A = this chain, B = another copy of it.
Amino acid sequence: MTDLSPILAKADANLNASLERLFDLVRIPSISTDPAYKADCRKAAEWLVKALTDLGFTASVRDTPGHPMVVAHHDADRADAPHVLFYGHYDVQPVDPLELWENDPFAPAIKELEGGRKIITGRGTSDDKGQLLTFLEACRAYKDVKGSLPVKITILFEGEEESGSPSLKPFLEANAAELKAEYALVCDTSMWDTETPAIAATLRGLVGEEITVHAADRDLHSGLFGGAAANPIHILTTALAGLRDETGRITLPGFYDGVEETPENIKASWATLGRDAKSFLGEVGLSEPSGEKGRSVLELTWARPTCEVNGIWGGYTGEGFKTVIAAKASAKISFRLVGEQDPAKIRDSFRAYIRSKIPADCSVEFHEHGGSPAIQLAYDSPVLTKAKAALSDEWPKAAVVVGMGGSIPIVGDFQTYLGMDSLLVGYGLIDDRIHSPNEKYDLQSFHKGIRSWIRILDAL
């Protein structure tokens, strides 16, 4: 175990210079969705290549059909050190409506809030320039003191994260050999709260389906045909209603294949977070968990699969009333997956179930809207255990292993194209207003974020 004190002290001493570098990067308006900022995106990539080169990385801007990637490499101090891929993105969200910003989004500054909390204002300070720089500044302090790095590092910075990453998959595929590492470190997520760091270990997968039930070959008058002609809305609602039983479980045959119970110690750690149904649902005007009975809201959203109807439409939906029996009715349905649930099998099971509910003189059409398995880092994996301990050393409270209800595409892509798990660590806060006016990053997030990476790099 290295004595980290001098490295951490170095990071502390570097802080003002680190902030200057962050300000420099934030000043480049690298908005990826707006073609007017194309040159600024390249400028940000070039800025990063220079910063990485200064740090001793072999770094280059790599062209894509869209905005360029930044790829860099640095060897470890010993041959048997682990090899990690660090991922971040240098592009930022647009800033409209500009009039809602209290400070110029591209003129970053330190601002002191009531109570002494200091924040760094500006677009991208949290998402993701501030976050990715915590890692580079950690490398800098480490090298300043030790002259080397404890792990072999490959860097991948993307410039299209805020615009759907169109170039990412082809790039990963084309450069798999160069980019492949033992696992990825992704710095684009949040803390649990200002005192509690978080590592996301589970991300739910997704199966999206759209169905249209067809009945008569035209809209019918419900007076003339009502009671005799099939009503596709009735068929649809009956089929959808049957997807969940009274205990909230999904009824599809085989749906729970590959779903494992969350370990008791993990559930116990979640129970300490004070995130109960009242606080979780209260924020959106609800109070009662609606899914499977007898499970906490965190378990329901992080570790259990779901079925939700995301949209439904059919018949007359305008003002007033029209006594029509529609010719067709549609719905969009999604399943969130966990553990080893197989998207293809769940899609098949869903379609078979729906088909079984369609009368002989009606028909159903299916349209696929994507599918991806869940991502699950083993709760007891060495990487997770080490990172958790390192973070717990830095912050007032022990790190918590959390789940994420939604998917983060990059994690799935690393899994698919590079066969690599990801460790998601980030220092954002829920009030960072990413994607909104007045984005900020806490000075503490930046400072302790740098110190956290120093500890994690060493622990790995």
Mark A residues whose CB is within 8 Å of B.
204, 206, 208, 210, 215-218, 220-231, 233-234, 236-238, 240-242, 244, 277, 280-281, 284-292, 297, 300-301, 304-306, 308-317, 320-326, 329-332, 334, 336, 359-362, 369-370, 404-407
Verify A300–B224 contact, CB threshold 8 A.
no
Distance between A11 CB and nearest chain B CB, rounded to angstroms: 33
* A311 and B311 contact, CB distance less than 8 A: no
The 8 Å CB contact of A324, one of B218, B236, B277, B310, is B310
- Which residues of B lie under 8 Å from residue A218 when comparing CB positions? 284-285
Chain B residues with CB under 8 Å of A404's CB are 223
Given A222-B334, A238-B241, A289-B228, CB of A315 within 8 Å of CB of B316: no
Q: State whether A288 touches B360 (Cβ < 8 A).
A: yes
A317 and B306 in contact, given A223-B406, A237-B240 (Cβ under 8 angstroms):
no
CB closest residue in chain B, given A204: B223
Q: Kindly report which residue of chain B lies nearest to residue A234, judged by CB atoms.
A: B309
Instruction: Say yes or no: A311 contacts B290, CB within 8 Å.
Output: no
Closest Cβ neighbor of A305 among chain B residues: B227
| CA–CA, A369 and B322, complex, Å | 10
Report whether A290 and B359 are in contact in the complex, using a CB–CB cutoff of 8 Å: yes
A–B complex contacts, Cβ < 8 Å, 7 sampled: A216-B281, A216-B286, A228-B300, A229-B290, A311-B317, A313-B317, A323-B334
A289–B228 Cα distance when bound, in Å, is: 5
- Ranked 5 nearest A-B pairs via Cβ: A223-B406, A217-B285, A311-B315, A241-B241, A227-B300
B334 touches A230 (CB 8 A): no
Kindly state the separation between the CA atoms of A237 and B224 in the bound complex, as whole angstroms.
25
A222-B334, A406-B221 in contact; A321/B369 too (CB < 8 A)? yes
| Least CB separation from A334: chain B residue | B323
Check A314–B311 contact: CB distance below 8 A: yes
Shortest beta-carbon distance, A287 to chain B, in Å?
A: 4
Q: A223-B336, A228-B300, A321-B332 are in contact. List 12 more A-B contacts (CB 8 A).
A: A204-B223, A215-B286, A226-B306, A227-B291, A227-B405, A228-B290, A233-B240, A238-B241, A286-B361, A286-B362, A310-B322, A313-B317
Contact A405 B361 (CB under 8 A): no
| A53 to B: closest C-beta gap in Å | 38
**A225-B284, A242-B241 known; A321 vs B309 contact (CB < 8 Å):** no
What is the CA–CA distance of A216 and B287 in the complex, to the nearest angstrom? 9
Assembly CA distance A233 to B359 (angstroms): 23
Q: In whole Å, how far is A429's beta carbon from the nearest beta carbon of chain B? A: 16
Instruction: Report the separation of the CA atoms of residues A301 and B222 in the bound assembly, to the nearest whole angstrom.
Output: 9
Q: How far is the CA of A240 from the CA of B305 in the complex (A)?
A: 25
Q: In this complex, which of A244, A291, A297 has the most chain B Cβ atoms within 10 angstroms of its Cβ?
A: A291
Contact (Cβ within 8 A) B310 A313: no
